[in-house]
Structure 1
Amino acid sequence: MARQTWQQRKAQAIPRGISIMCDFFTDRAENALLWDQEGRRYIDFAAGIAVTNTGHRHPRVVAAISRQLEKFTHTAFQVAPYSSYIDLAEKINQLTPGGHAKKTAFFTTGAEAVENAIKIARCATGRSGVIAFSGAFHGRTFMAMALTGKVQPYKAGFGPMPAEVYHVPFPSALHGISTQDSLRAIENLFKADLDPQRVAAIIIEPVQGEGGFNVAPPELLHALRELCDRHGILFIADEVQTGFARTGKMFAIEHAGVVPDLIIMAKSLAGGMPLSAVCGRAGIMDAPPPGALGGTYAGNPLALAAAQAVLEIIETEHLAERAKQLGERLRETLASLKEVTPEIAEIRGLGAMIAVEFQDAGSGEPNPAFARKVQEKALEQGLILLTCGTHANVVRFLFPLTIEEDLLTEGLHILSTAIRV
């Protein structure tokens, strides 16, 4: 069936609120490659929005799912439990930062994990206020949407938002916002609008995803930890996009040496299968009563099997170290392009979680048109790129950490051509 026919059927069957970037329809995928229904090949620098850090259809992930498929696909853990849930929870408890006693609960999506982290924090503290950051993305469900620091397209038309969610600026040297500005905004919030004794949690992405791959300065994360300890507030790290070796460490918060009270994860946890988790201090995680947490599909056995395989792959294939090496190659390419491309304002990120921000060469204003042009030119040549940022003027790079060297070289060449055009 022709691509145009599928496009027509899509328009008739699927609501326009589901925005779709590519105009083709995927037929198959392998590691860092996709092929469409017409047989055209694409290098994937998106990885399903940071979901396939271990590549599409990694043999170990496929084998693990297949083995579980031969046993059972679903019983609902809350009805007829299975040991793989406990095995993976123990592994997550071990891998996350901090030597304290921890417990982990599994869910299905990143937004669902965010919602449950807030539930747990409110229940554990007896407080209701939550502080998030401008430019943040925490999901599209209502509490997650309220926490998200971007109106278009996520909040417009969906109000009112859940109460007692407050935003403060996220640091950005490029845009003149310092760590002190962010901390001062919190202190001003405490003086003008919000008693700190009513705040349950502060939630932050160690590297903002949709916000433009802005890296939280270590001094900010340390100051937030101290502020939380001082006021009895819980520190929540949203590692949905940053987790599982993407930044050169298993979790991005480890770069700062800060230990959160709760840590949220999803995306690359299960190599493409729907699985998310909240891991935290045991006493905090035990605050909600029996029946308050869970979900019909939460901790699906196929997804748990995939996640165990993903963790083994990250360890045995040294993907955290490889993320650093891949990131260096990408930075070198972007740095060489910056010398001849005045629209490149900043190159930033950690490990292989790198982004480039574009501004107008004359005015210094955000330049979403240039970012969109780069994305379109790259796609024409068979390279999939994602944009992001509050002004949609950032291109982010999320290729699988298992990408072959020759494909990375080819992808970087296409990128160079697209930026120069």
Structure 2
Amino acid sequence: MTFIQSIKKLTPFYYLNFKTMKMKTYFVAALATMTLAACSKDAETGAPPPAAKTNFSVSLPGALETYGVEDPQAAGQIAPYYENVVVYLVDAGNNAMGYSWTDAEISAKQKRFEQVVEPAKVIVVANTGSTSLLTGPTSLASIENGLKNLAVADQNRAVKTIGAADVKGNAAGDYLSVQQVALYGEQTTFTSETPTDGHTLKKAAVELKSLVSRFEVGTVKAGTGLDALTVEAVYVNFFYNDYGQTSSQNFSELTWPVTYTPAWATDAANAAVTSQTGTKAYTYQVFAGSLIPHIIYKVSGTVSAGYKLADGTGDADNSTSFTGKYITVKGFRDSGSLISEIEAHKIYKMGLADSGIEITPDKITDKPEKAKIDLIVAVSVADWTVANVTPEI
């Protein structure tokens, strides 16, 4: 998926208003509500009027170190944690001016710019993590290139706990990894609104969305041919390392490491993941695109008499215990259709109900990413928001 295509899939998150006078303009912007105002008056003594100027103010909405399981998220209920914010004003020639916010401005939920030229486009980026975006004079191409450096590790941060409201105005509480991801929005269209002070008033809806998709993963359960099945660990494999898709992690059966890294991409088994009411989930954020993540379970258990695992483990007359085996989910179905591309700003849920994904012995292998074993799971998908998917064996 291209940069522009991924952006067009995002959903609304804030608004932009402006009003025009004649010689100077007033510009206001907000991350839940973004406002732009401009006014001008006749040029004096016959001199040609200068280019319209704009005062710009951005307001943020309020928001609700070890890795661990998280609560599954409901559609439309993910409130962001604000770490940093950059606003770009882009003209018709794709020249831009970037402005970053101070902690005090983020805390005040407002940033104001005096006398700037009314832009053709407004871009807002929040939570860039370890990536530093350009500020000052720049270009649209440079902004897009900077976004390509966003790292997947920064989209999978440990839960952040704040004991008291911080200097940026984030309220006390726990912030899940999904609340700390990079957000992006842009707008080019302004609509006329009813004037409040006699001046022309316009508004533009700006969409601020996540640049990643989220996987919420449940447990597995014993199907026919298994007396018992227990999860030992969970891994995510096959994902882009950066938003620009310049590199990826895609271990095979032969290259699977002794110690799996990075830390965010693996979890030890957690008893809170029950795939029943009140369950937690193993969670991972990945960048959108055609690289479909693989979910791998390391398992132990008991194969029933008369059944065998894919590697031949089992006995015709007796139950056989096993440990250190693997289940590799290599695909997902949504409403029966095989998913060929992961979309940004969507949550993919799998195996979170009915006590987990039912597994039969033939899907359990001696190594992960076994070439001859494919397991497809059905999922549901929704905009940042939720989609439930399930495994297909």
TM-score (norm 1): 0.20
- Structure number with greater Rg is 2
Q: Which has the higher contact order (CA 8 A, sep 6+)?
A: 1
TM-score (norm 2): 0.21
